[in-house]
Structure 1
């Protein structure tokens, strides 16, 4: 393996790690509220993650993980992600049909809301007594 191939491999590792981090972020967005039932202090992190996710869909925030992946792809000589982004490239049409995007988004909202309702219903008795 030559120097150039070794450098490209490093960028591919960065790309793969970024994809894994992105998938973990999305997974935490969906189920993090349920994790907060056990680790109560994590609810603030989950609220922040959900706020970022909602903002990226509704407002169109630029995602730093997508930017990092695109940079690593460029550096390794691969094309960037399509302008539609990470989710449409890796998940839409792979995990669910393209025409089910709205349904999937509504299901994610329902899961998050259910987890938050459960979180507040599971508050310790001493907190409720105050």
Structure 2
């Protein structure tokens, strides 16, 4: 039970870390002292993506899942958790075009 909770906690932390890497620059505009947290986080994010590395948080999450008797997954965190949300099964190019057009219309108006 504790291993499962630890794995779920790592998923939450991992997601928050990715969001901080992506959008932390906006927080730095308001809270300048965060630059010293954001620069290393953003640097790590770039290195992981450029060199196709697996983040240690993914490795630790899978260790906790295995210890909890749960199924571990191959690949990375984004492929496992994020991409199925952005590109669900059955999403056709026509649907993507329609959704993109709606998004464009909402932002233009």
TM-score band w.r.t. shorter chain: 0.7 to 0.9
- Aligned-partner Cα distance in 2 for 1:65–1:25: 10
Give deviations 1:18-38, integer Å, cap 9, x for gaps: 000001101111211111111
Q: Which residue is equivalent to 2:100?
A: none
Give me the whole-angstrom Cα distance separating, in 2, the residues matched to 1:21 and 1:44. Answer: 19
TM-score, normalization: structure 2?
Answer: 0.74
1:52 to 38, 44, 49: 44
Q: After TM superposition, what 4+ stretches of structure 1 lie above 6 angstroms from structure 2?
A: none
Unaligned runs of 5+ in 1: 1-8, 100-130
Uncovered stretches (5+) of structure 2, i.e. residues with no partner? 92-109
Counterpart selection for 2:72 from 70, 80, 92 = 80
- Please tell me the root mean square deviation across aligned C-alpha atoms, in Å: 1.6
Give the paired residue count: 89
Question: How much has 1:59 moved relative to structure 2?
Answer: 0.7
